[in-house]
Structure formats: structure tokens, C-alpha cells
Structure 1
């Protein structure tokens, strides 16, 4: 049976989760966001109520899912009616579950470990969803909700989740920065970044075959100092030179 869900937020996470829950047969009751126009656009996808007043949250919801940036949780929680019966959960990696303590009797975390964009709705089937709750009942309910959209569900503590989030910053955010630097370098040289797509895909595909360190290649791994120095000399931006040196030194020392 579908559950009744209120979403607070209208950004990347809110948009993707709302659509995933809707596809799974749940009822999106409302979308509340400081950005009224985005709240309206998202709510209209489901025929749901929309607004910008958090105090108007639907008390008949089974879940109130807070999908806002990490700096906004305190303000959102302060505006919630006290003693809410629905399960209140946030969707943040680095924010402790205990931030909700004192605002509601039933609370937890529903954290999808994925990079999300509101412009592209993803299939959560293979996305790890980390669950935490302040009681066995909350954990069970959040697990059951997650089970309707994902095959990879785990109960993970706030401390463990924060470590996963840190690792994801290295694996995703910093990696994307490397793509950005490569793209800009080739663009400045009037060359085509698309020619790097096959090697990027091959590198990512290798991850399923073992530990990443076993697949490290390149001049730093080989200790080819002549090529490394040539690359450094080719770079005009001193910041890129320093990044190249530091990453190469780290590869050589491991």
C-alpha cells in the first residue's frame, strides 16, 4: 500500500525522490519550499499541495522528508509544528540524525548515496540508500519505504554515513573537478574533450574488477620523471602545475 509523503525542499534531492516515490505508488501530499515557483512546478507533477510555509505541513502524512541544503536544517526544524506524529527524516550525508532530536518523537535519516540533478530523474534501483532511525519502528518503516525504490538498503549510523559522504566527495566531486580541468585545458588548446570519454569510461568500468589502486597507471606510477616534467612545463597555470605535482607525488609514494 502506498504511503503518504510530504516533501520539504524543491531541489535536486527533493525532485528525484518525489518522482521515485510517485513511480513506486506512493502519494506525494505536498511540496513545501522557500522557492514557491519551484515548489509549484514540482507539486504540479503529482497534483499535490504546494507552499512556502513549513508550519503548514500536512499532519496526515506518514513521512515528512526534509531535502534542503545542510545549512538550512535548523531553520526548517524550528518552523515545524511541535510533537509531529509522522516520521521526520532528512536526506543529508554529513548531518547527524540527532539534529532532529527534540523536534519530533519519530525521526531518522533517508540518505541516497548518489549525485542527483533535478534536470534528470534517475532510477534508484541500484542506488545505495542508508537508513538510520531513533527507534526500531522508525527504522523498519524507513527500510520498507526505501525497499520500494531501491535494491541496496543498509542501516548505517551517522558516523558511518559521514565517512561515506567524505569518500564520495573524493570519488565524485574531486573526480569531476579533474574532468573540468581536462575539459578546460583541451578547450584552451582547441582540442576535443570528447576524445577522453572512452578512457574515462574504461577507468570507471575497471572499478568492478578489484581495488582501484591495483589499476593505477600513468607516468607517476611508472616513475617516468622525464614525461612528468614535460607535462609540468606544458602547463601555464601555476595552480595546475601544483595540482599535477601533488597528485603525482601521492601516486609515487603509494
Structure 2
């Protein structure tokens, strides 16, 4: 079935989902965003209406997808006009589904577990999409909509979605911080971070078929104390040295 969709928000998630749903044959009906320029730009890609206030929401969409920053969800949801007949879904990892309960009869969650940017829109087919629903009627339609863009749709409740979000912070956000620290360290010695890209890519590829515990390598894993101490002696930045020390200790004691 094909649906008409209104987006609340015009940033990274809204842009990627709008392109995905449009490619799947759905109609992007409207884009509402506080940033008029961004709302107009996204809406124009699909011949959709645009607005800057929730009072401008059209009541003829099958779905309203809320794609805003996590910290403003309650503010945005509280501005919804009464009498909305659409299924309202949010797209957040840490926000519980039941925040929508006071503002919609049918509601749910469509959460893509991926780091998305509007400047690099990609296919969602292999992106895990977690769904949750308020009723059997909304379940059928939410699953139908999600299945149209992803081959990896999963039923995940609010508690488990939060746990996935925590794990994603470790796997994605914190690992990227390690890349930042590595690059800053090499930059300080006028060395090229790009020489680390092959080892970064190789480690990521191994995770497709292996338990992360089984691909851990390095001096701490080998308990090569002499090399660990040598590295520590070469780190002049106190905070960087402390991070290296704590991570090495964890690897030696837990892995």
C-alpha cells in the first residue's frame, strides 16, 4: 500500500527518510519545520507543501513522522493540534513511544538505527529499522511502511530501543572519538591519519562474521607490558595518557 506522509522536521533523519519513502512510491505530502528555508528546500524535492508551524499540518496524510532533535520532542508534541487522524510516529532511539499517547489515537515508532546526514543520502535497504505500535491497526500499517524501505525491520519496544541506543553510542560515537584522538595525536607530530584507514576498515569488516571479543588485538590484549609502558611514556598529554591507561587495563582484565 502507498501512503501520504507529513514530516515534522527537515534535518538529517527527515531528509533520508523522505528520499527513502519517495523512492518506495509513497507521497511526501508536507514538510513542517521551524526553519522555513530548510522546510521549503526539502519539500521542493518532492513537490510537497511546506509550513513552519504545527497549526499548518494538513489532516489528509496517512502518517505524520516526527524527525526532530531528542531534546525538543516534548515541546514539539505538545503543540500538535487536536483532531489529528493520521498515525503519528516518532523516529528517535531514546524517546519512549508513550509520549505520543496524549496527542494521538494511533501512534508508534519508526527508528532507523543508522548515523544519517542529509548531505549524503543513501539507501535504507540494509539499515535496521525498529518499529513499535499502539494498536494492531497501527502495527499493520507501520510495518507495511517500514518494510517498504528496509529489509531489516524489527519489532523493538521502548526499553530495548533505549538499550540499542546506548550500545550505538559505544559502537559509533565513542569509537569515532577514538579516531579524533588518534588524528589529533598524529597531527601534533605532523603525521598522516589516512595511513590508519586500512586498519580501521579491516577491523570493521571482521565484525560482520566475528564476535568483537575474538578480534581484539594489540599490546594490551597480548599483555605486552613493555610496549604499553613505552607508549605511556611517549604520551605527553595527561588526559590522553589516562584514557590509554584505563582502556589498556580494561582489555587486560576483561578481554
Residue 31 (structure 2) pairs with residue 27 (structure 1): no
Q: SS of the residue aligned with 1:88?
A: strand
Deviation at 1:86, TM superposition (A): 0.5
For residues 192-217 of structure 1, the C-alpha deviation after alignment (integer angstroms, 9 at most, x for no partner) is 11111110011001112221001111
For residue 120 of structure 1, what is the aligned residue in structure 2?
120
Query: Quick check: 1:125–1:149 contact (8 Å CA) kept in 2?
Result: yes
For residues 209-231 of structure 1, the C-alpha deviation after alignment (integer angstroms, 9 at most, x for no partner) is 22100111100001111111111
Deviation at 1:75, TM superposition (A): 1.4
Q: SS of the residue aligned with 1:79?
A: coil
Residue 142 (structure 2) pairs with residue 135 (structure 1): no
Q: What number of residue pairs does the alignment pair up?
A: 254
How well do the aligned residues superpose, as a CA RMSD in angstroms? 0.8
In structure 2, C-alpha distance between the alignment counterparts of 1:238 and 1:14, rounded to whole Å: 41
For residue 16 of structure 2, what is the aligned residue in structure 1?
16
In structure 1, C-alpha distance between the alignment counterparts of 2:139 and 2:237, rounded to whole Å: 50
Q: SS of the residue aligned with 1:209?
A: coil
For residue 228 of structure 1, what is the aligned residue in structure 2?
228
Residue 209 (structure 2) pairs with residue 209 (structure 1): yes
Query: Quick check: 1:83–1:105 contact (8 Å CA) kept in 2?
Result: no
Residue 169 (structure 2) pairs with residue 169 (structure 1): yes
For residue 184 of structure 1, what is the aligned residue in structure 2?
184
Q: SS of the residue aligned with 1:227?
A: helix
Deviation at 1:232, TM superposition (A): 1.2
Deviation at 1:2, TM superposition (A): 2.2
In structure 2, C-alpha distance between the alignment counterparts of 1:187 and 1:42, rounded to whole Å: 38
Query: Quick check: 1:30–1:50 contact (8 Å CA) kept in 2?
Result: yes
For residue 194 of structure 1, what is the aligned residue in structure 2?
194
In structure 2, C-alpha distance between the alignment counterparts of 1:252 and 1:140, rounded to whole Å: 48
Deviation at 1:83, TM superposition (A): 3.2
Query: Quick check: 1:109–1:133 contact (8 Å CA) kept in 2?
Result: yes
Q: SS of the residue aligned with 2:154?
A: strand
In structure 2, C-alpha distance between the alignment counterparts of 1:131 and 1:90, rounded to whole Å: 10
Query: Quick check: 1:88–1:106 contact (8 Å CA) kept in 2?
Result: yes
TM-score by length of 1: 0.98
Long gaps (5+) in structure 1: none
For residue 109 of structure 2, what is the aligned residue in structure 1?
109
In structure 2, C-alpha distance between the alignment counterparts of 1:238 and 1:198, rounded to whole Å: 28
Long gaps (5+) in structure 2: none
Q: How does 1:40-51 map to 2 (within 5 A)?
A: 40-51=40-51
For residues 50-103 of structure 1, the C-alpha deviation after alignment (integer angstroms, 9 at most, x for no partner) is 111111111000000000011111111111112311000000001100111110
TM-score by length of 2: 0.98
Q: SS of the residue aligned with 2:131?
A: strand
